[in-house]
Structure 1
Amino acid sequence: MDRDDTPHRLDLKGLKCPLPALHTRRALARALPGAVLLVDCTDPMAVIDIPHLVREGGHALEAQASADGVLSFRIRKAG
């Protein structure tokens, strides 16, 4: 994943715990430092799991929102 300031979107809607966190972790591992991920999911546990994953990895959770059953996260990879 390049750091061209174009966010990479992960559409994880419909996946159940722990898959949204696992896919997000994998995408962060492949991303270059400073890259932005936009993660959309519908699993209610993601509201706990994704922020925890971000903090654990030292990344930045720049935004978090919920609308129409979709949880959205904007994550910037550390580095």
Structure 2
Amino acid sequence: MSVEIYDLRGLNCPLPVLRTTKRLAGMASGAILVVETTDPLASLDIPAFCRDKGHQLVSVEATDSGHRFTIVKG
């Protein structure tokens, strides 16, 4: 399975979650999406979104400018 990288750096809440929702909707179950953000609230919003929607949050990494989330679509 390929990994898609989705660059959402520079966007503020709620756009990272809204765009992640839309991107995952077009992906097959089990697909992997890596989301990169600079919004500090994404560290709360993305994990909560994954729990609520049944996606697996594989990892959360701090980067120089924000966070990188690895999500497996549920």
TM-score scaled to structure 1, two decimals? 0.90
Match of 2:31 in 1: 35
- Give the secondary-structure state (helix, strand or coil) at the position aligned to 1:69: coil
Amino-acid identity (%): 42
Number of matched pairs = 74
C-alpha deviation, 1:28, in angstroms: 1.1
Unaligned runs of 5+ in 1: none
Give runs of ≥4 in structure 1 deviating > 2 Å: none
Unaligned runs of 5+ in 2: none
TM-score scaled to structure 2, two decimals? 0.96
The structure 2 residue matched to 1:17, chosen from 13, 24, 40, is 13
Aligned Cα root-mean-square deviation (Å)? 0.7
